[in-house]
Amino acid sequence: MTILVTGGAGFIGANFVLDWLAQSSEPVINLDKLTYAGNLETLASLQGDVRHVFVQGDIGDGVQVSGLLEKHQPRAVINFAAESHVDRSIHSPGDFIQTNIVGTFGLLESVRAYWGGLAPEAKAAFRLLHVSTDEVYGSLGSGDAAFSETHRYEPNSPYSASKAASDHLVRAYHHTYGLPVLTTNCSNNYGPYHFPEKLIPLMIVNALAGKPLPVYGDGMQVRDWLYVKDHCSAIRQVLQAGRLGEVYNVGGWNEKPNIEIVKTVCALLDELRPKADGSFYSTQISYVKDRPGHDRRYAIDASKIERELGWRPAETFESGIRKTVQWYLANPDWMANVQSGAYRDWVLTQYVAT
């Protein structure tokens, strides 16, 4: 048996592949376009491991994806591939429409054709798991109940709107064609191998470089934070036991305002890598102009996945953020290569795309 993962060189996809192969002998076909967010250096420990087959390509390329499906006959496809950064979606929405909507449509078409041709037993066992975000539900007021799976879709950024469209397409392929799909909507992830354009890795990298720590607006926007390995375990659980056509919200029960996150990172760095001049990292905090259309609060009600599938996060925010800061401090080369752009060379030097 085999699984096909898309976007497996990105932050969550790569963590998923590493975790999967740490606990299973089942091979992974990893299809990734290697945009700026794809980093094969993250998967360096899998070099020479025959259970990991990396293929550079686009989820929307029907010829390539159909060829891969026919060749490797996966029992499941897990779709992580996406453009994922809200700020980039504000500046260049076209890439988000292309990959998150048109690309997902192409993937669905390829998977539908492959699944339709499977023998009855394989057809019944097959799953397409689509990885999505809590941002599709829009923004909450401070007293509102957390997002449940039936919360109305009210996306506010080009990123969340494009993810919402992809969720609708996945849903429609289940209802119209019977495609055996599962969807997860997860809150903000953090942890190892996170590209330093997102809040937590950016704060760590800038703090260590003595640069300003840019906090948008008043810093009181609230997100729910989940350690990436907990997201990976939730996906494995949904893949194994999720009910067909169902949506599962995944979250960490960790609502925090951004400024608290930034101050926590600063305090951990003060403890683990104190500054030579004795000053505190929090002195680098700099309030900057707010993001346009900035969602005020996200909160996830993750009780369905707990009730139905018995999943709960293993990490608290305190344990997860400490592990994360420690990981960045222990992996300066990974961080330096991401910042210098040297990670882009990995595809040329370390892997041969098939």
Please give the residue ranges that form the binding site for ligand NAD (CB under 6 A). 6-7, 9-13, 32-35, 37-38, 58-60, 80-84, 99, 103, 131-133, 163, 186, 188-189, 195
- The minimum distance between CB 203 and ligand TYD, in angstroms, equals 8
Instruction: Verify whether residue 135 is a known catalytic residue.
Output: yes
Given the residues 58, 135, 230, 315, the one annotated as active site: 135
- Binding residue (CB under 6 A) for ligand TYD from 258, 264, 284, 324: 258
- The minimum distance between CB 216 and ligand TYD, in angstroms, equals 4
Instruction: Verify whether residue 159 is a known catalytic residue.
Output: yes
How many CB atoms neighbour CB 339 within 10 A? 12
- Binding residue (CB under 6 A) for ligand TYD from 215, 232, 285, 347: 215
> For residue 38, what are its two tokens?
């794809």
Instruction: Look at residue 82 and give the partner it binds from ligand NAD, ligand TYD, none, a contact being a CB closer than 5 to 8 Å depending on partner kind.
Output: ligand NAD
Handedness of CA 78, 81, 85, 89 (dihedral sign): negative
Taking the C-alpha atoms of 171, 173, 176 and 180 in order, what is their torsion angle to the nearest 10 degrees?
-90
> Rounded to whole angstroms, how far apart are CA atoms 46 and 40?
10
- The minimum distance between CB 294 and ligand NAD, in angstroms, equals 16
- Binding residue (CB under 6 A) for ligand TYD from 30, 185, 188, 254: 188
> Rounded to whole angstroms, how far apart are CA atoms 312 and 302?
8
- Residue 54's Cβ-side half-sphere holds a number of Cα atoms within 13 Å equal to 30
Interface with ligand TYD includes 139 (CB under 6 A)?
Answer: no
- The minimum distance between CB 146 and ligand NAD, in angstroms, equals 15
Interface with ligand TYD includes 216 (CB under 6 A)?
Answer: yes
Given the residues 41, 83, 137, 159, the one annotated as active site: 159
Choose between 60 and 138: whose C-beta lies nearer to ligand NAD: 60
Residue 279 in 3-state DSSP?
A: coil
User: Helices 317-330 & 199-209, crossing angle to 10 degrees?
Assistant: 50
Choose between 186 and 215: whose C-beta lies nearer to ligand NAD: 186
> For residue 98, what are its two tokens?
């292309």
What is the helix (H) or strand (E) element at residue 113, kind and residue range?
helix 104-116
Given the residues 134, 255, 301, 315, the one annotated as active site: 134
Residue 57: name the closest of 67, 46, 65, 66 by CA: 65
* Residue carrying the six token digits 């923004």: 139
Binding residues for ligand TYD restricted to 92-121, rule: CB under 6 A: none
